[in-house]
Chains A and B, each alone.
Chain A
Amino acid sequence: MKTWTVARHVLFRIGQDPRTLILIVLTPLLFVLLYGYSFSSGRPTHLKVAVVNEDNGLASVRTAELGRITLTLSLGAKLVQSLDRELFDVVLHDKPNRIEDEVKAGKYWAGLVLPKSFSHALANEALRERGPQKTTYQGRSVELLPPETVEGPLATLYLDDSNPVVTSSVALSLYEALTRLVAEQQATPTLKDPLDVHALYGGQVSALDYTAPGVIGFAMTLITIMLTVISIVRERASGTLTRTLVAPVRPWEVSLGYTLAFALVSLLQLGELFLVSHLLFHIRFAGSPLLVLLIVFVYAIGLQGIATLLSTIARNEFQAMQFILVLLIPSIMISGVFWPIDAMPTNIRLLAWCSPLTYANSALREVMLRGRGISGVALELGVLAGFALLMLLLGVRSMRRQGYSA
């Protein structure tokens, strides 16, 4: 039995390579830490929500003894106060007519507008649910009577439903807050449609639609980087890169040649990914395919740069593969592909904004899900272009260091 000999030899060789050793120990740690931190609350947190509280706080209620009386309840303020502060970052807003546009623009996940008559409507709704109720009013015992007419929705909610996780969390939490408020009015909490919900995308965005742009972006990242790194490492090991760099070719020409080739390959892959996901899984595609191509092309150029850099650091294909894993797998966890970045802890969020996949994912999502035009993704495209340029320069520099320098 030479099994042990072979096994010992393999372990010994791993032990000889400190880089591999570090990777073996650190990689799982990195994955589990990032995963844990990003998803730890089990639900999103810190979602930015705008609330317009126009409630005048007054409720006009029928009584058996005194006819109509006016109670000061300030239920709007109570509701705002009772909102889940872990889930929501509540921003008090005072322009109800601008809320919808700002939610559309992605400034808030949701906008809640409590009308002037919010307290009135809620109190009467509670009475209708519960039936007549005794209370004291100005020192007298009175019986409050249910309203004769049924009130409409209590409030209006503008909801960015491009992210199913967020949608359900927001809606559920608001519903709970309202229910609690009604319950405090001694009524059975069985509200029917208390909110007039304006879902921006008509509830058409599924979890698959939401994650598709990111997953497609990630698949591209992985394939492109692997292809590039491995072919450059192989060229270097076989000597063909040396032969090329001795010829009258500038390092940037070699670097750009690689970039161009693999960026074109990326576009082909992208077309394939989109075609299959669209035809087979009916992925939502609201925006311009050309804009998507542009985003991916710019992103792919940046990836080439990273790949060229990685190929300089990696001594062989094995190391290259490890770098790829360490760099890329965490990026899919933190880039908002599955979990909204808004819902991540601050330190992870900072990390997320350093990952180019975050911008690619965000831009693809804006175009595919929300149908945004180029101005809607200008920031993301700008960052991706800057990243591409920087990486291209670094890539050329490292290509120069692979051989010739002058």
Chain B
Amino acid sequence: MSETEEVVRARGVKKSFKNRVALSGLDLSVRQGQLYGLVGPNGAGKTTLIRILCGLLRPDAGEAVVLGWRVPNFRIRSQIGYMPQEVALYPDLTVMQNLAFFAELYDLPREQLKERAEELLALVELSDRRGQRVGTLSGGMQRRASLAASLLHKPRLLFLDEPSVGVDPRLRHSLWEHFLKLAAQDVALVVTTHLMEEAARCHVVGFLNQGRLFAEGSPEQLLRKTGAASLEEAFTRLEEESKVRT
């Protein structure tokens, strides 16, 4: 996949909040059509990294280039999608009303909205809930509605922050099927997770802790390199190795 376009390139990205270091000189490369899994414990810096790549935060040092533009940059916005950890929908509006508002922000023509919304609602299995208020949906359904809202404008690059939290195993499986399908359509996806069985489905996995990417590769490469039986074990070994090195 080396000849495909590099959609994300980060070099030496640093970010601190008051006294807490969130990212300490991080490098990252994601290519078109890649499903990239950012794996790390809570507080590893995954969300900060995604927020920087989306242009929501400005790095303290280093640079991040997304879709050819150094971020933050307005030009990339219509081509990226972001599903935050929170549901990030208006609980007092129906699923459809929420989709309609965000579609308008993305300049989706009104005629296309209905068709696109139906397509996405079918994907996340919420077609029969389109008229229901988001606040009255179950937690898992809210996450699915949130994903639908992030896909409205067919982004070339999709950031998903813990997309399968609160989603039942059956649906989680179908979501990941869909992620792979998107990747096959040349969409790049950056997915954060702390679940190793999800990481195992990614094309490339980056292990993140304490604001640093300490290992990267396909799940197979990581397993081979460490001789571990599981990605979990690989993570632990590689983390210890990197500690020894520093």
Contacts and interface: CB of A to CB of B under 8 A. Distances in A.
A248 B88 contact: no
Given A239-B84, A240-B89, A249-B77, 4 more contacts: A238-B91, A248-B106, A405-B55, A406-B55
B54 interface: yes
Nearest to B98: A240
Contacts of A242: 56, 82, 84, 86, 88
Contacts of B90: 238, 240
B221 interface: no
Interface of B: 54-56, 58, 71-74, 77-78, 80, 82, 84-91, 102, 105-107, 149-150
Contacts of A247: 77-78, 102, 105-106
6 A-B pairs with the lowest CB-CB distances in the bound complex, closest first: A239-B88, A239-B86, A406-B72, A247-B105, A248-B77, A248-B78
B69 to A, nearest CB: 10
Contacts of A250: 74
A239 B55 contact: no
Contacts of A246: 54-56, 77, 80, 82
Nearest to A400: B72
Contact of B102 (A238, A243, A403, A406): A243
A244 interface: yes
A201 interface: no
A37 interface: no
State the main secondary structure of chain B at its contact with A. Answer: loop
B87 A248 contact: no
A391 B87 CA distance: 31
A249 B82 CA distance: 14
Contact of A404 (B56, B84, B107): B56
27 contacts: A238-B87, A238-B88, A238-B91, A239-B84, A239-B85, A239-B86, A239-B87, A239-B88, A240-B88, A240-B89, A242-B56, A242-B88, A243-B82, A245-B56, A246-B77, A246-B82, A247-B77, A248-B105, A248-B106, A249-B77, A249-B105, A250-B74, A403-B56, A405-B58, A406-B55, A406-B73, A406-B74
B87 to A, nearest CB: 7
Interface string A376-406: 0000000000000000000000000001111
B82 A404 contact: no
Given A247-B105, A404-B72, A238 B77 contact: no
Nearest to B153: A247
A240 B88 CA distance: 4
Given A248-B106, A403-B56, A243 B88 contact: yes
A237 B145 CA distance: 18
A404 B149 contact: no
Nearest to B91: A238
Contacts of B105: 244, 247-249
Interface in A218-258: 238-240, 242-250
B86 A238 contact: yes
A243 B149 contact: yes
Contacts of B78: 247-248
A404 B77 CA distance: 10
Contacts of A406: 55, 71-74
A249 B104 CA distance: 10
A405 B74 CA distance: 9
A405 B88 contact: no
A246 B157 CA distance: 13
Contacts of A245: 56
Interface string A112-123: 000000000000
A239 B56 CA distance: 12
A404 B106 contact: no
A405 B72 contact: yes
Contacts of B71: 406
Contacts of B107: 248
A239 B142 CA distance: 13
B1 to A, nearest CB: 26
B84 A243 contact: yes
Contacts of A404: 54-56, 72
A242 B57 CA distance: 11
A243 B37 CA distance: 21
